[in-house]
Amino acid sequence: MTEKCPFQFDLMNPMTHHEKLPFEAFATLRQQCPVSYQSGAPEFGGDFWAITRREDLDFVSKHPDKFSSSANLAHPSPGGTDPESLEIMRQLIINMDPPDHIKYRRVVSNAFTPKAVEALAPIMREFARSIVDKVAARGECEFVSEVAAEMPLFVICALMEMPAEKRQKFASLVDTMIGMDDPELDVSAEDGQLAAAEIFGIAMELAASHKANPQGGTIIDALLNGVVEGEALDEFQFCTFFLILIAGAVETTRTATSQGMRLLIEHPEQHQMLIDNPALIPDAVEEILRFYPPFIHMQRTAMEDITVGGMAIRKGDMVKLFYPSVNHEAEVFGDDAEVFDITRTQRMADLKNQHRTFGVGQHFCIGSHLARKELCIMFAEIVPRLRNPKLAGAPHNLVSNFIPGIKSMNITFDPEQ
């Protein structure tokens, strides 16, 4: 039996991450046992190896032959843990291993290139302006639903050719799928399965609409015309692609926008720096992504007995990769790694390639260009117009061990004249 690390932090308990991410616990693990065997309750997958240092996370991420995303999935399952549900979830690209992952990733890669994303920038800027227009004169808003959630939903629905009237329905289905751990949301595994089924239904409606009136350059177009080993995606493959691309795109950017605004409110001197010098906004976005990544962990399954960070991991063991920890590693980001600093890129020009918010290796986030562009455009509109922002009460956080989301965050600011 593998000996447990003397430092146990209940990392898979959603409440551990509820008020804020446990940076002190991660710091202890990085210093004392960066590859540590931790206790995990059965409902959260049982005992596991916690990877808290970047060198070890990179090793695991870059060796998919040794650490599988498919065996026990790469992320917590929203559809239950029965064999049938797990087999369905393995069809999602995030849960694929090579060579399947590489083949299917090519199907949609062209829709997310920097060139393709830049082509969307004009409509994104126009929509960002309209989002802020709706709240600027009021001097207060519920930031998550009225601001942060709007842009990613608009963009991904545009890429998916989704009519505006379906956007909010779709958003509620995504919320159901990611809210499994939150007792306040009262979401069951069956609810998650039903939400996924409804999303599949929407996907098929959009596919039929596209076939009747094709539009080039959209994700729907890429999926319907995608070919893997000479064959088009079947109906199920099309729907699973649709599901993971939309759910990931909506939640990641919404969380990063919400947490980024919270950080700027809590650091008013840095918010003022952005007002004085808007050219710093891309640097601020990179620091937001580093400091408070929108995913807490991903997981892999060891496919052989192997040593990582001096620890003997056995075949079949669960390994969890903690991105907030590796993004705060002093050996990589400096002695002030635990400090939020939007000027960090001035002394670390390669920051975007050093943090691991979008992963590393074959599963590096295919939508990273899109997420960065959305965040830069949103904050370019928010910063100069929502002046002197303050929290009107504590943020209402999602209870999750996977996504450090904010369900609602009421803020005040100087009304725009």
Q: Exposed, middle or buried: residue 13 (CB in 10 Å: 0-12, 13-18, 19+)? A: middle
Q: Which two tokens stand for residue 145?
A: 């639903």
**What per-residue confidence (pLDDT) applies to 409?**
98
pTM over the 0.85 mark: yes
Tell me whether strands 48-51 and 318-322 are parallel, antiparallel or unpaired. Answer: parallel
The amino acid sitting at 129 is R
SS3 (DSSP) at 217: coil
**What per-residue confidence (pLDDT) applies to 81?**
66
The number of C-alpha atoms within 13 Å of 211 and in the hemisphere containing its C-beta is 9
Q: How far apart are CA 261 and CA 288, in angstroms?
A: 9
Determine the angle formed by the axes of helices 235-266 and 268-276, rounding to 10 degrees.
Answer: 100
Q: How far apart are CA 362 and CA 75, in angstroms?
A: 15
Q: In order of start, what are the domains of the chain with their CATH numbers?
A: 14-412 (1.10.630.10)
Backbone dihedral angles phi then psi of residue 47, each to the nearest 5 degrees: -65, 155
CA distance readout (Å), 383 to 5, 389, 412: 44, 9, 13
SS3 (DSSP) at 279: helix
Radius of gyration of the chain (CA): 21
pLDDT tens digits, one per residue of 211-227: 898 887 778 888 888 78
**What per-residue confidence (pLDDT) applies to 45?**
86
Q: How far apart are CA 122 and CA 128, in angstroms?
A: 10
What per-residue string of b and e applies to 253-263 under the rule 16 or more CB within 10 Å gives b? bbbbbbbbbbb
pLDDT per residue of the chain (417 residues) written in tens, 0 to 9: 688 999 999 999 999 999 999 999 999 999 999 999 999 998 888 999 999 999 999 999 999 999 999 998 898 665 556 777 777 778 888 899 999 888 888 887 877 878 888 888 999 999 999 999 999 999 999 999 999 999 998 888 888 888 877 777 877 887 777 666 667 766 777 787 788 888 888 889 888 988 898 887 778 888 888 788 787 888 888 888 887 777 777 888 999 999 999 999 999 999 999 999 999 999 999 999 999 999 999 999 999 999 999 999 999 999 999 999 999 999 999 999 999 999 999 999 999 999 999 999 999 998 899 999 999 999 999 999 999 999 999 999 999 999 999 999 999 999 998
The answer to whether the beta carbons of residues 200 and 170 sit under 8 Å apart is: no
The beta strands (E) that lie in 71-207 are given as 140-142
Classify the C-alpha dihedral 343-347-350-353 as positive or negative: negative
Count CB-CB contacts under 10 A for residue 287: 25
pLDDT tens digits, one per residue of 240-256: 888 777 777 788 899 99
pLDDT tens digits, one per residue of 372-385: 999 999 999 999 99
Q: Exposed, middle or buried: residue 398 (CB in 10 Å: 0-12, 13-18, 19+)? A: buried
Q: Which two tokens stand for residue 315?
A: 């075949």
**What per-residue confidence (pLDDT) applies to 174?**
77
Ramachandran assignment for 45, one of left (phi > 0), alpha (psi -120 to 50 degrees), beta (any other) = left
Closest CA to 126 of 378, 413, 384, 385: 378
pLDDT tens digits, one per residue of 46-86: 999 999 999 999 999 999 999 999 998 898 665 556 777 77
**What per-residue confidence (pLDDT) applies to 388?**
97
